[in-house]
Structure 1
Amino acid sequence: MEAVNYSTFRANLRTYLDKTRDDAEPILVTSNDPDSNVVVINIRDYENLVENDYVKSNTYLYEKLLRGREEARAGRVEAHELVEDDAQFLAAHD
């Protein structure tokens, strides 16, 4: 993770935001007070963090995820064709 002080970040805001967006590289923006430091991340990474936090905080979902991972490692998987037709998908899930 790249670290940059607040003044440099502010002076080159567009460059740092583009870099964060394009490279998915978080940037640590530092100040004289360490409690005021912030991390800038792109929206995809933020949404991923929020989703992971939600899944890990939900015991049922987290255990289901772990069971699925173990089943996949043990080779207990099945291939299914993707449904391309939205109407067909919706009808099958009514």
Structure 2
Amino acid sequence: MLAIGYSQARNSLKEYLDKVTDDYETIIITRKEDKNVVVMSEDQYNNLMENLHVLSTENNRQRLLESKKQLEEGLTVITKIEED
């Protein structure tokens, strides 16, 4: 994660946006009065929102924990799907 000043971001915007999209870098643009901004790629944002949604309910969290436990205990089944 990079933290850069507003003027630095403005002067090299393309370079920093390329870092965000090409290198999956998250950038904090610092501003006066703690009005900072975080810049991340759309892919990272979508992933974050999906994770928040999946973990948003207790039922979902419990299902994930149970699945993880089954995986760790080797209680998985591999199924081969045959196509026509």
TM-score (norm. length: structure 2): 0.90
Give the whole-Å Cα distance in 2 for the aligned partners of 1:4 and 1:82: 50
Using a 3 Å threshold, how does the CA distance of structure 1 residues 23 and 70 change in structure 2: closer, same or farther? same
Q: Deviations over 1:27-57 (max 9, x none)?
A: 01001221x1011011111111111111111
Distance 1:11-1:67 versus aligned 2 partners, 3 A rule: same
Partner of 1:60: 59
> Which whole-Å CA distance do the structure 2 matches of 1:81 and 1:23 have between them?
36
- Give the % identical residues: 35
After the TM superposition, which segments of 4 or more aligned residues of structure 1 sit over 4 Å from their partners?
none
The alignment yields a C-alpha RMSD, in angstroms, of 1.5
Give 1:73's aligned residue: 72
* Greater helix proportion: 1
- Counterparts in 2 of 1:43 and 1:82: CA distance versus 1, 3 Å: farther
Q: Matched residue pairs, number?
A: 84
